[in-house]
Amino acid sequence: MTTTLRPTAPEQRTAAGGRSRSYEVCVNSRPVGRIDLATDDRFGPTVGRIVRLGIDERDRHRGRGTVAALAAEEVLRGWGCGRVEVSLDAEAEVALGLAGALGYVERNRNMAKPLTTAPRLPEGTEGRPMAEDEYTAWDEHARAAYAQSWIDRGVPADEAHAKAAADHRSALPDGPATPHALLRVLTHHGTAVGTLWVALRDHGPDEPGAYVYDVEVAEEHRGHGHGRSLMLLAEAESLAAGATEIGLNVFAGNTPALRLYESLGYRPTEYHLYKPLL
């Protein structure tokens, strides 16, 4: 049997060079599923993304998804892409297994936790708003560190720095005065030991949420539990603002952060994987 991709509509293009197209997954011309492909808006037209891949239930477990994914990679190579990205639900065990078998590796994951009771900070530890003069130095450092996290995981430096700049502009358009942005400095007995950036998100009238964009302990104050205190501060501030859930991103290989989040009750919600297209 021959598995092929059959376009369902003309290819879509953007002024910035982006491309997208949907296909039926066919076996001997019989549709058995669908796959949607696009270039990745975050990184530009040389990075592709498998947006969606679904095989009809009666045709699963026969290798259709594997062949469709490999065919999709060939399409993306033809578009000039040198890398392919995919995001998968944390509970999609079959899809995660398929991605691993095809050589995709985790770059980062999203985690979340419901908020119910405000935690208490350790004695002598407090959070205060970030001053405007502190914000400038923090923003420059945070953007550079964020870009480096992507560079360390296979993203070219120019793409990584462009993404970091764009993400900060989008999330903090008015700097420290940006509505729904919580920028805090953690102090311990009056000494500044770390910084925190939380964004409040509104998922509807009954589902307000919060997202931790950046949390960092100053290098000279690491190893004293301040990272946990920063996360407790994030939860307390978010709950006080009406959030019922808090989420975050952690990069693969950041084992200390991952262990901290797990110990606080955070659980994976989505995995982000990539693969070079050689």
- 3-81: CATH topology: Aminopeptidase (3.40.630)
In this chain, the answer to whether the domains covering 3-81 and 113-272 adopt an identical fold is: yes
Tell whether the model's pLDDT for residue 121 goes beyond 70.
yes
Which pair of tokens denotes residue 247? 């989420």
Does residue 208 have a pLDDT over 80? no
Q: What is the pLDDT of residue 42?
A: 87
DSSP assignment of 29-86 = TEEEEEEEEEEETTTEEEEEEEEEEEE-GGGTTSSHHHHHHHHHHHHHHHTT-SEEEE
Q: Hey, what's the torsion of the CAs at 127, 128, 133, 137, to 10 degrees?
A: 20
Which distant-in-sequence residues (6+ apart) come within 8 Å of 26 by Cβ?
A: 3, 4, 5, 6, 32
> Could you tell me the pLDDT band of residue 163, with boundaries at 50, 70 and 90?
very high
For 168-200, what is each residue's pLDDT tens digit?
A: 999 999 999 999 999 999 999 999 999 999 999
Q: Please tell me which residue, 23 or 209, carries the higher pLDDT value.
A: 23
Provide the pLDDT for residue 158: 93
The pTM score is 0.91
Q: Indicate the DSSP class of residue 174.
A: T
- What's the CATH number of domain 113-272, 1.10.3720.10, 1.10.1060.10, 3.40.630.30, 3.30.470.10? 3.40.630.30
Cα–Cα dist 48/105, whole Å = 15
Residue 205 pLDDT: 55
Q: Residue with structure tokens 């805090």?
A: 184
Residue 49 has pLDDT above 60, yes or no: yes
Q: Where exactly are the structural domains of the chain?
A: 3-81, 113-272
∠ Cα 251 50 208 (to 5°): 55
CA distance 181 to 8: 42
